[in-house]
Amino acid sequence: MSSYRYSVRKTVYAFPDLKTLFARATPARSGDELAGISAQSPEERVAAQMCLAELPLTKFLAEPLIPYEQDEVTRLILDEHDACAFEPVSAMSVGEFRDWLLSDAASSSVLESLAPGITPEMAAAVSKIMRLQDLIAVAAKIRVVTRFRNTLGLAGRLSTRLQPNHPTDDPAGIAASIVDGLTYGSGDAVIGVNPASDNVASVITLLWMLDRIRERLDIPTQTCVLAHVSTQMEAIRRGAPVDLVFQSIAGTEKANRSFGVGLPLLEEARAQALELKRGTLGDNVMYFETGQGSALSAEAHDGVDQQTCEARAYGVARHFKPLLVNTVVGFIGPEYLFDGKQILRAALEDHFCGKLLGLPMGCDVCYTNHAEADQDDMDATLTLLGAAGVNYIMGVPGGDDIMLNYQSSSFHDALYLRRLLNLRPAPEFEAWFEERNASLPAVPELLEA
């Protein structure tokens, strides 16, 4: 362990170790303040950013923020690091890396082949010294394409997860929201229900219902019931039609344990899903959700700032070749992301880090009613993510999730973004929509076995 110092005029700022330097350099965030690790002053923050900018990228390979012996996420990150892919930037400092990312030398294809050489800590470090326009400009160059029953992430496309939640998992209520969403062209990323109950039998009922609707209408998309991974695995064992396996993940072994998961369990779940061979165009079978603050919330952050923990969660995600990954950026509440400004910055950081690491990043642009945020903040976040080339956003009826009690993006928001930026749904879904949209059946008819 080495310590770090940086002088600004006559003040010398000292940082005892790398994770402290990261935490001090990270833009202001209520969660890091809650953890007691953030910069004590704006000047200290900039000093830490200047210090960080001078560090060589190789530093993060030599000095893990959370010890290798202690944490399986650290082991995954370092064991899978691709030195060949890293080669083009291996001599750079964090600051030089930022400049290079913005240069024409860092083309789409160069960035694509670079991804396996970048670790979450490198991505987090460089994002901390990047302004919003940098985060947008670089992310916009990176396309990450994935496939299951359709093709997601192509240039000029914006997909949506249709999120038809219902407080009592009522099939007719869920079907009504699905029909509504389909008429707005929502649902090409996935039709995904957050179940109110994690009960295996009721999850299986929902899985069959979603699968029947998809088959009945012949929609080129995938369905998912976002129960705990172990519940979905049990559903697979009982013969339920599982397209994608979902799980919330975090960036430390301890935080993942608090979610009741670990790398071996996720590996097993993926193997089970692959065995079903339900994908027609590709075998990206995993769906992950993440969000800054989850590690601290589980008291499992180990002194690492929440944005770096989040990037480490992407290190977990990419190992499993997911179809979809989205940060649920404003869901966690104001003790982690206080207001619209913090939510906006976090959304763009998460999207950038995910894309740089090679993930098909989407974003649940959202907020809760105890955060200092409103629909204007959501519009700004949504629009900037669209400019940054986000793979998908959520589609919730009227933006009001009546089960999870928070505000997310609406079917209308997606139409706005598609029209504004001239984006279209996934090609297979777009073709289906043009042919079938006018002939969607009524809800009772849709629910008939």
Partner 1 sequence: MKIRDLREFTSARVNLGCSGCALPIAEVLKLQLAQVSARQAVHAKLDASRLALDVNSVCQDLIFVCSRAPDRVTYLRRPDLGRELNPDSRSLLLQKRGRFDAVFVLADGLSASALQAHAPGVIKASLRLLNPDDWRLAPFVVVEQARVAIGDEIGHCLGAALSIVLIGERPGLSCSDSLAIYLTWNPRPGLTDAARNCISNIHDDGLSYPVAAHKLAFLMHESRRRKLSGVELKEDAKALT
* CB 388 to partner 1: min, Å: 21
Which one of 400, 421, 434, 436 is in contact with partner 1 (CB under 8 A)? 400
Largest separation between any pair of C-alpha atoms in the chain: 76
Residue 433 near partner 1 by CB under 8 A = no
The span from the CA of 77 to the CA of 75, in Å, is 5
Under 8 Å between Cβ of 100 and 137? no
Torsion angle, CA of 13/346/321/204, rounded to 10 degrees?
Answer: 130
Which one of 119, 150, 326, 407 is in contact with partner 1 (CB under 8 A)? 407
118-157 footprint of partner 1 as x/- string (CB under 8 A)? ----------------------------------------
Which one of 410, 429, 432, 433 is in contact with partner 1 (CB under 8 A)? 410
* CB 30 to partner 1: min, Å: 5
Q: Which of 267, 245, 355 is nearest to 311 (CA)?
A: 355
**Nearer Cβ to partner 1 (138/382):** 382
Which one of 166, 212, 318, 319 is in contact with partner 1 (CB under 8 A)? 166
| Token output for 154 | 């192509």
**Nearer Cβ to partner 1 (107/197):** 197
Which one of 145, 276, 380, 415 is in contact with partner 1 (CB under 8 A)? 415
Which one of 78, 274, 387, 440 is in contact with partner 1 (CB under 8 A)? 440
* CB 338 to partner 1: min, Å: 7
Whose tokens are 């964090």? That residue is 94
Residue 242 near partner 1 by CB under 8 A = no
Residue 398 near partner 1 by CB under 8 A = yes
Residue 405 near partner 1 by CB under 8 A = yes
- Between residue 26 and residue 65, which ones bind partner 1 under the rule CB under 8 A? 30, 33-34
Residue 395 near partner 1 by CB under 8 A = no
**Nearer Cβ to partner 1 (13/336):** 336
Which one of 102, 375, 424, 427 is in contact with partner 1 (CB under 8 A)? 375
- Between residue 323 and residue 352, which ones bind partner 1 under the rule CB under 8 A? 333-335, 338
The piece of 5-13, 99-107, 270-278, 407-415 that touches partner 1 (CB under 8 A) is 407-415
**Nearer Cβ to partner 1 (122/328):** 328
Residue 256 near partner 1 by CB under 8 A = no
**Nearer Cβ to partner 1 (272/297):** 297
* CB 371 to partner 1: min, Å: 8
Residue 9 near partner 1 by CB under 8 A = no
- Between residue 167 and residue 186, which ones bind partner 1 under the rule CB under 8 A? 167, 170, 172-177, 179-180, 183
Residue 202 near partner 1 by CB under 8 A = no
Phi/psi for 221 (5° steps) reads -150, -175
Q: Which residues pair with 363 in a beta bridge?
A: 327, 393
Phi/psi for 5 (5° steps) reads -135, 150
**Nearer Cβ to partner 1 (165/284):** 165
* CB 96 to partner 1: min, Å: 36
The span from the CA of 140 to the CA of 389, in Å, is 5
Which one of 9, 264, 439, 449 is in contact with partner 1 (CB under 8 A)? 439
Q: Which residues bind partner 1 (CB under 8 A)?
A: 30, 33-34, 164-167, 170, 172-177, 179-180, 183, 333-335, 338, 368-370, 374-375, 396-400, 402, 405-407, 410, 412, 415-416, 419, 439-443
